[in-house]
Amino acid sequence: MSVNKVTLIGNLGKDPIIKKFDTGRAVAQFSLATNEKYKDKQGNPVTKTEWHNIVMWSPLAELAEKYLKKGNQVFLEGKIESREYQDPKDAAITRRITEIIVRDMTLIGAPNSGGTSYEPAPAPAEPGYVQSASNKTTTPVETPVLESGQDDLPF
């Protein structure tokens, strides 16, 4: 028996790059940063950042295109996969890359007005969020803007 499962919580290092194929299928690729914090021998705080190459196929790729931006925090589950490819500048060179193939995604935070810090996302059942095809991914939806004088309290 063997298991190939990865669980990551991190922040997008760049906006997803989306490629769409003639078949209607899409793929999203981006980098994800995870941080480990510890103290060195002298007691000084140290933050170590690990970068991961992320790949999402349809239908998650469409959600990534619509809702993910640089800096977003996400919870990802998937598997590790390595592949080889020819260097585009020198076909004699074969390169190897390790990627995380995502099977499930949950948005952890939604951008506030500043756009760089995040507030906790409400549970999927709360208004203003919808679930993806995986039944675990929550995605923000547009909230109507209240006119001046309207009461936004439910009671």
Identify whether 152 is part of a domain.
no
Residue 148 in any domain: the answer is: no
Report which DSSP code applies to 13: S
Predicted confidence (pLDDT) at residue 76 exceeds the cutoff of 90: yes
Q: Supply 106's token pair.
A: 């949950």
Task: Over range 88-111, report the average pLDDT.
Answer: 90
Quote the CA–CA distance of 87 and 3 in Å, as a whole number: 31
pLDDT at 125: 39
**Exposed/middle/buried for 33, CB within 10 Å: 0-12, 13-18, 19+?**
middle
Q: Mean of the pLDDT values across residues 35-63?
A: 96
Q: Is the pTM of this model over 0.75?
A: no
Residue 150 lies in a domain: no
Q: Report in angstroms the alpha-carbon separations of 63 from 47, 89, 106.
A: 30, 32, 11
Nearest 5°: the CA angle 26, 75, 25 is 10
Q: Is residue 154 part of a domain?
A: no
Range of 32's domain? 6-140
pLDDT band at 111 (very low <50, low <70, confident <90, very high): low
CATH label of the domain that carries residue 53: 2.40.50.140
Three-state DSSP state, 4: coil
Instruction: Compute, in degrees rounded to 10, the torsion defined by CA atoms 64, 31, 39, 42.
Output: -160
Q: Are 85 and 95 in contact (CB under 8 A)?
A: yes
In this prediction, residue 67 carries a pLDDT of 93
Tell me the mean pLDDT in the region 35-61.
Answer: 96
What is the pLDDT at residue 135? Answer: 46
**Total domains present in the chain:** 1
